[in-house]
Structure 1
C-alpha cells in the first residue's frame, strides 16, 4: 500500500461545493418541474436561480485556478488504454482484479474519466446553461428576435439535461465506492491523500 497526495485544498473545496450546488439545483429544479413540493414553487425558482449563478461564479474561479496552476492538463482526453479501463469496470471489478490505472501527480484521471468529464464540460453543461439561461430570460425573447422559439422545447431540453446530470451523479457516486475500500476515494477527496493498492495485489474489501 502506498499513498499519494493528489488533491489540493482548492480542488477539494471546488469539488464539494460544485457537488452540493448541483444536487441542490436538481432538488429545486425538479420541484419547479412539478415533480414534488418542498420549498414551494416561487421559493424553488428563486433558490434554483441563486444556486445557478453561484455555480457560474464557482466555475469562473475554478477555470482561473486550473489555468494558472496547470491542472487543466489532467482533463486532456486520451483513448490510450481506454479499452483496458472499460474492460475493468465492465468485468474485472467484479473479479477482484487490480485496477489497471494508478493515479499520480502528473496523471490524476484515467482515460474513461477524462472522456466523461470532457462530455460533461462540452456537451451536458452547455445544454443546461443555454436552456436555463433562455428559460430565465423568457420575457426578453421577443426583443431578441426569438419569438418563434417555444418555451416547451426549452423546458423539455433543460429537463432532459437534468436527467443526464442525475445519471452522471449516480454513476459518479457508485464509482466512488469502487476503490480498494468503499470509502477510500471519498476520503481522498476530503483529505487529499489517496491510498493505492499494489498493482499486483487483489483489492480487498471490494464492493460488488
Structure 2
C-alpha cells in the first residue's frame, strides 16, 4: 500500500477544501478582531472592517458548505463520512494509540488508506462531527446573529442573543482547534508536505 498511488481527491473536493480553508481563516481572524478590538485600538483588523468581512465570508462559507452537502449526496464522497458503530471504540482506540505512541516508534498505521477508506477511523469520526454537527450549528447561529430579529428574546430567562452569540463563539473555538489539529496531522505522512501536495494534485 505504501508504494501504491491513489487518486483520492477529485477536483471539486480540492477546490471546496481550499476555499473552505481560506474562508474559515478569514472568519477566524475577523472573529478574533471583533472580540478584542475597540475603535481606538484595533486588534489585527478594525472592528468595522471585521464585521463587514465576517458577514461576507460567513455567507460565502455557507454557500461552500451547501456545495459540500450536495456533493456528498450525489457522489461517492459521502460514504467517507459514514461510520460503522460496531467496533467503533476499538478502532478509535487503536488509531489514537498509533498517533500518541506508534508513529513515534515508526510502527505501521493500524488502518490502510484506500479509495474506499481515505480516512482512518479517528479522522472519519472527527471530520463527520465537525462537518455534520459543528458547521451546521455555527452557520445557523451566525445567520441568527446576522438577522437577530429571528432569535427568541428570552431563553431560560437569559437574552436569546447572548446565548446565540455564546454558542457561535464556543463552536467557533472548537472548530478552530480542529483546524490546528488538522494542519498538524496533515504533516504526518511520507513527508511533511506530502498530504498538502495530495490536496493540490488529488493523488495520494
TM-score, structure 1 length as denominator? Answer: 0.84
Query: What does the per-residue CA deviation read over 1:116-159, in whole Å, with 9 as the maximum and x for residues that have no partner?
Result: 01211233223312221221112x14xx6x22241322222211
1:115 equivalent to 2:117? Answer no
Residues 169 and 48 (structure 1), Cα distance of their counterparts in 2 relative to 1, 3 Å cut:
same
- 2: CA distance, partners of 1:166 / 1:61: 21
Task: Please tell me whether the aligned partners of residues 141 and 164 of structure 2 are also in contact (alpha carbons under 8 angstroms).
Answer: yes
Q: Tell me what 2:202 maps to.
A: 192
Q: Tell me what 1:42 maps to.
A: 48
Give secondary structure in 2 for the equivalent of 1:3.
coil
Deviation at 1:181, TM superposition (A): 1.1
- 2: CA distance, partners of 1:28 / 1:180: 35
Q: Tell me what 2:138 maps to.
A: 128
1:183 equivalent to 2:183? Answer no
TM-score, structure 2 length as denominator? Answer: 0.86
Q: Tell me what 1:10 maps to.
A: 12
Deviation at 1:160, TM superposition (A): 1.2
Deviation at 1:42, TM superposition (A): 1.5
Q: Tell me what 1:102 maps to.
A: 112
Give secondary structure in 1 for the equivalent of 2:51.
helix
Q: Tell me what 1:20 maps to.
A: 22
Q: Tell me what 1:205 maps to.
A: none
Q: Tell me what 2:166 maps to.
A: 156
